[in-house]
Amino acid sequence: MSMWSARHTAQSSGSIRCDLREAAALGRRHCVKWNAWSACSDSYYWEHGMSTSSQASEITEARAQRVVLTDDSLVVELVDGRTVSVPIAWYPRLSHAGPAERTQWRLVGEGEGIHWPNLDEDISVDGLLAGRRSGETQASLQRWLEGRKAG
């Protein structure tokens, strides 16, 4: 007989998400297994198989170290060895920029993002990893394009 109800997420590395609210609802006496962790608190916890406190300190945010733009893609190399490539069409300002303008980028926030000062374009590494396209409206893009023609 189970003393608590676990809600399983998609199987991955043995992690189980447990709803301690349900355990608390069953009464504190049924939470003996969890008392050391949270005394049946009203929050969610992850139980990771084989995790240690040193592993938690090794988790770092994704940061860019190199950017390459081709005619079709924005390719970002991350400091942890991953490479992210997305269609340049996701970012209209980059799509409309010339090759020389595309090379004028700089990393911001220790690699948390990429900034093109001449294009007034900013892209976060988190956004790239999440697959987020530019959120610029058509009206804003049109104003920017018209400003480029006038300048």
Number of domains in the chain: 2
Question: Does residue 58 lie within any of the structural domains?
Answer: no
CATH number at residue 94: 3.30.2020.40
Other C-beta atoms lying within 10 Å of the C-beta of residue 84: 15
Which pairs with CB-CB distance under 8 Å and at least 24 residues apart come from 5-10? none
Domain shared by 16 and 76, yes or no: no
- Asked if 79 and 61 count as a contact pair (C-beta separation under 8 A), the reply is no
Looking at residue 56, what is its pLDDT? Answer: 45
**Could you read off the pLDDT of 57-91 as tens digits, one per residue?**
455 689 999 999 999 999 999 999 999 999 999 99
Domain shared by 35 and 74, yes or no: no
Other C-beta atoms lying within 10 Å of the C-beta of residue 8: 9
Domain shared by 134 and 89, yes or no: yes
Question: Does residue 32 lie within any of the structural domains?
Answer: yes
147 pLDDT band, cuts 50/70/90, is very high
150 pLDDT band, cuts 50/70/90, is confident
- Domain extent, residue 138, equals 64-150
For 11, the token pair is 């199987």
Closest C-alpha among 92, 86, 84 to residue 63: 84
**What type of residue sits at position 31?**
C
Domain shared by 104 and 69, yes or no: yes
Domain shared by 78 and 117, yes or no: yes
**Could you read off the pLDDT of 6-51 as tens digits, one per residue?**
444 344 344 334 444 443 444 443 434 434 333 433 333 344 444 4
Domain shared by 142 and 72, yes or no: yes
